[in-house]
Amino acid sequence: MAGPVVFFAVFFAYPVVAIVGRGLEIDGVWQFGRIGEVLSRPDILRVLWFTTWQALASTVLTLLIALPGAYVFARFDFPAKRLLRAVVTVPFVLPTVVVGTAFLALLGRGGLLDELWGVRLDTTVWAILLAHVFFNYAVVVRTVGGLWSQLDPRQEEAARVLGAGRFAAWRRVTLPALGPAVAAAALMVFLFTFTSFGVVQILGGPTFSTVEVEIYRQTAQLLDLSTAAVLTLVQFAAVGAVLAVHAWTVRRRETALKLVDPAQTARRPRGAGQWALLGGVLATILLLVLAPLGVLVERSLDGPGGYGFDYYRALTALDASGGTFLVPPIDAVWNSLRYALVATVIALAVGGLAAAALTRKAGRLLRGFDALLMLPLGVSAVTVGFGFLITLDKPPLDLRASWILVPLAQALVGVPFVVRMMLPVLRAVDGRLREAAAVLGASPLRVWREVDLPLVRRALLIAAGFAFAISLGEFGATVFIARPDNPTLPVAVARLLGRPGELNYGQAMALSTILMVVCAVALLVLERIRTDRSSGEF
């Protein structure tokens, strides 16, 4: 408990409070009047309104599209299931710059939709919403699907035997059990889309702006810290409200569940209905996830001399002039992996400790702590980055030019994921098992290892996958923290896109493809890590 608290105090609360204070405290006087001033500006109000409704719409749309997917991945066995599960997570790590490109290629002029039906969605809200679904599809599939695959189908069957209809059985038995996971997924999607930055900037054109974009403009471009501070507080308030609603709905739902080994619950689809459902989900994935990714791969191979690996070869050579990167771009792969590894370890350690603490006790203080852990998802990366800059500048905490700052910032975003993934499962563990173990003389640590760990191992792996993926694709912190020149993949991609010339563009596409592959492979490896103990004995 103390570990996570210290971590958050030092690397989140302190920097954020400092930067907000810098904006609102002028000559020792707190200028709370600024809040009213800023909030009465029509342009700011418009931004707030747009931010809120697009986040709500994105969340609803994502749930509608992704829940069938979660079911299919949890309950059916089909060829290449693991590969697909890794692939749908890939969007999550792609830098928004690249996603913007892919979506413009699909939805924009001369894109697929334009060719087929003459529909152009770029610079409309639809492009933003679809891109958000693309990004967050995996969040729902993994969070909800992870738990769903461990629910014992026999409970539903028992209800059917007792005379409940198929739908009633699902509604009375499965849905309540899934509730917390669905709520957690919805919460995360909402927070992500609420603080959406790159997607809105690229696909929305200059007409749409979110609070996050506005904070960036006020801080990084205009240096209007007080307006930025007010907007940060507004973001805090909104996120706080959402967290409160979430806590209130979930608290009355979390019950001990009977969890079983996922391998037992999935089977081949039977009957026309199930096959149709599987087909529908696969078609959705094809259109929504694979098509945009495919565009990038196609462009990375479409070299000057026809299709081939020219751009990939160019990646391993130093720039003709030796300038943009002091290292070949391919080195960015290793930088990214290194950062991601460290960030994952930090996120798992802090998140795991926090989740363990949260399951053990209940109480108002702890619930507050739970909410606190979620806040980094809802606070602008700019605010945190600039906060780092003005707080971590004195020994022993002069970390501004230290490489550890990057994985630390990334872990901040990873921790909430780890907590959200593990909590539903940990809370679902039947407390009597722990008590029994304790009665039989096991130490608390041993109880954790023998009872909790086997059950949450899967959630832990999924959480690790997310933390890793977040770090791999994370762009905000790495941009706001000045760093010596060891670019990560997303940074390298952005840099290549920032220069004219065919080779640069092609290399950016090639590097994006490599980023996708690296992510997919990393996730597949995680999927492979299986325990040799079967957890089916409960």
Task: Note whether 341 binds other proteins by CB under 8 A.
Answer: yes
Q: Give least dist CB 263 to other proteins, A.
A: 25
Determine the interface stretch with other proteins among 33-41, 182-190, 255-263, 346-354 (rule: CB under 8 A). 346-354
Residue 223 sits in the site that holds other proteins (CB under 8 A): yes
Query: Can residue 435 be called a binding residue for other proteins (CB under 8 A)?
Result: no
Q: Closer CB to other proteins, residue 271 or residue 395?
A: 395
Amino acid, single-letter form, for residue 178: L
Indicate whether 457 belongs to the interface with other proteins (CB under 8 A): no
Query: Among 338, 360, 367, 457, which residue sits at the site for other proteins (rule: CB under 8 A)?
Result: 338
CB of 121 to other proteins, least distance (A): 14
Q: Which residues contact 525 (CB under 8 A, 6 or more apart)?
A: none
Least Cβ distance, residue 189 to other proteins (angstroms) = 24
Our CB check for other proteins shows the closer of 397 and 438 to be 397
Task: Count how many Cα atoms sit within 13 Å of the Cα of residue 299 in the half-sphere of its side chain.
Answer: 22
Confirm if 483 and 402 have CB atoms less than 8 A apart.
no
Q: Say if CB 417 and CB 347 are below 8 A apart.
A: yes
Question: Quick check: 118 binds other proteins (CB under 8 A)?
Answer: no
Q: Which residues contact 333 (CB under 8 A, 6 or more apart)?
A: 489, 514, 518
- Choose among 510, 390, 470, 278: nearest CA to 23: 390
d(CA 195, CA 211): 7
Q: Which residues pair with 303 in a beta bridge?
A: 306
Mark the segment that binds other proteins (CB under 8 A) among 105-113, 264-272, 277-285, 417-425: 105-113
Interface with other proteins in residues 156-215 (CB under 8 A): 201-202, 205-207
Q: According to the binding rule CB under 8 A, does residue 322 interact with other proteins?
A: yes
- Region 13-32 residues binding other proteins, contact defined as CB under 8 A: 22
From the list 152, 156, 212, 310, which residue makes contact with other proteins (rule: CB under 8 A)? Answer: 310
Stretch that binds other proteins, among 162-170, 335-343, 432-440, 526-534 (CB under 8 A): 335-343
Among 135, 190, 369, 448, binds other proteins (CB under 8 A): 448
CB-nearer residue toward other proteins: 153 or 205: 205
| Angstrom distance (rounded) from CA 68 to CA 88 | 14
Residue choice 502, 525, 531, 533 for contact with other proteins (CB under 8 A): 502
CA distance 419 to 442: 25
104 binds other proteins (CB under 8 A): yes
Binding mask 481-500 for other proteins (x = CB under 8 A): -xxxxx-------xx-xxxx
Cβ–Cβ under 8 Å, residues 106 and 292: yes
Among 30, 41, 46, 110, binds other proteins (CB under 8 A): 110
Nearer to other proteins, 150 or 335 (CB): 335
Enumerate residues 68-87 that contact other proteins by CB under 8 A: none
Query: Is residue 220 a contact point for other proteins (CB under 8 A)?
Result: yes
Minimum distance, C-beta of residue 384 to other proteins, in the bound complex (Å): 13
Is 450 in contact with 437 (CB distance < 8 Å)?
yes
Residue 308 contacts other proteins per CB under 8 A: no
Of 385-414, binders to other proteins (CB under 8 A) are 386, 389-390, 393-404, 408
Query: Does 466 participate in binding other proteins (rule CB under 8 A)?
Result: no
DSSP type of residue 319: P
Question: Can you tell me which of 34, 217, 253, 367 binds other proteins, judged by CB under 8 A?
Answer: 217
If the CB atoms of residues 61 and 353 are measured against other proteins, the closer one turns out to be 353
- CA atoms of 24 and 61, how far apart (whole Å): 37
Q: How far is the CB of 486 from other proteins (least distance, A)?
A: 5
* 164 phi-psi bin (left φ>0, alpha ψ -120 to 50, beta other): beta
501 binds other proteins, rule: CB under 8 A: yes
Of residues 10 and 60, the one with the C-beta less far from other proteins? 10
Show Cβ contacts of residue 61 under 8 Å, excluding neighbours closer than 6 positions.
129, 132, 133
Closer to other proteins at the Cβ: 221 or 271?
Answer: 221
**Backbone torsions φ then ψ of 306, nearest 5 degrees:** 80, -170
Shortest gap between Cβ of 12 and other proteins (angstroms)? 12
Q: Are 95 and 473 in contact (CB under 8 A)?
A: yes
Backbone angles phi, psi at 279, to 5 degrees: -60, -45
Distance between CA atoms of 60 and 440, rounded to whole angstroms?
Answer: 47
B/e letters for 148-165, b = 16+ CB within 10 Å, e = fewer, are bbbbbbebbeebeeeebe
Please select the residue that binds other proteins; options are 97, 127, 133, 301, rule is CB under 8 A: 97
Q: Are 459 and 429 in contact (CB under 8 A)?
A: no
Q: Is 109 in the site for other proteins (CB under 8 A)?
A: yes
Phi/psi of residue 149, nearest 5 degrees: -70, -15
Nearest approach in angstroms of CB 348 to other proteins is 7
List the one residue from 219, 380, 410, 513 that touches other proteins (CB under 8 A). Answer: 219
Q: Compute the chain's Rg from CA coordinates.
A: 24
291 binds other proteins (CB under 8 A): no
| CB of 226 vs other proteins, minimal distance in Å | 13
Instruction: Give the H/E segment covering residue 225.
Output: helix 225-251
DSSP string, 397-436: S--TT-TTHHHHHHHHHHHHHHHHHHHHHHHHS-HHHHHH
